[in-house]
Homo-oligomer: A and B are copies of this chain.
Amino acid sequence: MDGTILIEGSARHVHVTQADLETLFGAGYALTVKRMLSQPGEFLSEEKLRVEGPRGAIDRVSILGPVRKATQAEISMTDARSLGLEAPVRESGDVAGSAPVKLIGPAGELSLPQGAIVAKRHIHLRPSDAQELGVTNRQLVSVKLPGERALTFHEVVVRVHENFMPAMHIDFDEMNAAGLSGETYGTIIR
């Protein structure tokens, strides 16, 4: 590994617990795999929700599977503004004290007291990648992206797990600010 990392843009999405999935889609419901994602085991499901805030709503937001321990909506700051939510920048799963949000499915709806976050940009690495790069789990690094909107993201958190595929995940605001479309690689700067 030479210090370059694949950049992947994450669209807005929802993660759900099995209990919340059943509230939204009906008792005994299971997610249907539409397409496997780059991180092993993770998938885009066929199921979609309406996400509502005090100022607006976004329809047809995808659920990513498998089901998780906490229900959360990962949205961009552009989305947060149009929904009227004060969503904090957080790592996925860190929902304590995040923004309240309403999820509406075909069989029911949920008014979550917390759960809307803006994803903190991060890099997935395997232990061998981390070792080669000289970085450790939870380290903050910078990543430089090329192009006519070239920029360097600071405050990028490294996450290391043996099941990960090496990739950096940013949201669509960040993709657009960097002028990215199609496959792009960044350079990790320690």
Contacts and interface: CB of A to CB of B under 8 A. Distances in A.
Contact of A150 (B76, B78, B154): B154
A125 to B, nearest CB: 21
A174 interface: yes
Contact of A153 (B76, B89, B151, B173): B151
Nearest to A142: B152
A120 B89 CA distance: 26
Interface stretch (A99-107, A126-134, A176-184): A176-184
A172 interface: yes
Interface string A85-97: 0000100000000
Interface in A121-174: 121, 142, 144, 148-155, 172-174
Interface residues of A, number: 25
Interface string A51-75: 0000000000000000000000000
A77 interface: yes
Contacts of A153: 151
A76 B78 CA distance: 11
Contacts of A148: 89, 120, 155
A122 to B, nearest CB: 12
Given A89-B148, A151-B151, 8 more contacts: A77-B176, A89-B149, A120-B148, A149-B155, A151-B152, A173-B177, A174-B177, A177-B177
